Amino acid sequence: MNKLSKTVFLLMLFPLGGFSQNEEVSLSKKELRKERPTYGGITFGLNSSKYRDFATSPLFYSGVPTFWVLSRHRLNYKRETHVGISYSSGTYTNNYNNHNATSSVKILSFNYSQLYQLNKFSSEKLNVKIGGLFNTTANLRINGSLQNNATGIEVIPTLFGSIKFTKDISRKDTKNKKFLFIKYELKKRTRKLAFNMNVGLLNGSLRNGYAYTGQSGILNKPKLFDRYEFKVFSGFRMSSALDYTISLKNKNKVQFSYLWDAYKTGGDLDQFNMISHIFKITLLFNTNNK
């Protein structure tokens, strides 16, 4: 872990709530929870991504699988809590030297994040929050062209340091417009534009060694995680998200997002690299009418 990662990690250990609770100290924890609106989220998107696994091949495989998320969000101006499970599934292909190879890939991820407002840097129009995100990503790949090494599995847990900027771009007044001879009205609308950056502080991986070759297959007693090793403080990961959120009259929300995620495992000869560009739309349903 480099000096920057250590510094951010130590900052995360402080009681971050102290940045934002000056005005809420008289309220109990139960009252504070009730004050934060809660949303259930359903997401659909496309995951334009590619990967390379040096343990079996130096070639890139790319695809655009579907992307689904079930999530829960509790947030207000002072604090945010997000929990979600995502699933991506599809076919990745490689075409090299007139030879086509395909890989069936399934990706399951769990996310949990906490963000707290930084009063010093926040204003009525711009809200700044910092905190942490824990993510665990599991990949399953089946590539018949690799024969005995057709199946690849790894689990990538990461603890991130996070910062989020949220800009209020709401339309405060109703506006009457005209396009050629067509008149139309733009009504008041609550809208927010947010950018979130996550930098991996503690990176780990659960992964087999070079070429996924274990002894259990030779002995005709196959084991799913034969000769797997868990490594911590190993590898690199970074992600970001750009969100455009529109509030509806029924207190629900619609969110359009672009996510970028890149990571690699540690090691010299057997690194696994993956980068994703995800375009998604999320329906956020208010569950407590706040």
- Residue 127 CA to residue 19 CA, distance in Å, equals 13
Confidence class of residue 22 from pLDDT cuts 50, 70 and 90? very low
- Cβ neighbours of residue 151 closer than 8 Å, sequence gap 6 or more: 140, 141, 142, 212
Q: What is the pTM of this model?
A: 0.83
**Residue 190: what residue type?**
T
Specify the pLDDT at position 218: 58
What is the three-class DSSP state of 120? helix
Using alpha carbons, select from 144, 99, 133, 155 the residue that is nearest to residue 272: 155
- Domain 3-286 sits in CATH 2.40.50.140: no
- Residue 280 CA to residue 67 CA, distance in Å, equals 8
**Residue 249: what residue type?**
K
Residues 57-73 have pLDDT tens digits of 889 999 999 999 999 99
Residues 87-102 have pLDDT tens digits of 999 999 998 888 889 9
Specify the pLDDT at position 21: 45
Specify the pLDDT at position 153: 87
Distances (CA, A) of 107 to 67, 86, 88, 238, 281: 9, 8, 5, 17, 19
> At residue 2, does pLDDT exceed 60?
no
- Residue 81 CA to residue 115 CA, distance in Å, equals 7
- Cβ neighbours of residue 96 closer than 8 Å, sequence gap 6 or more: 59
Percentage of the chain with pLDDT > 90?
A: 54
> At residue 41, does pLDDT exceed 90?
yes
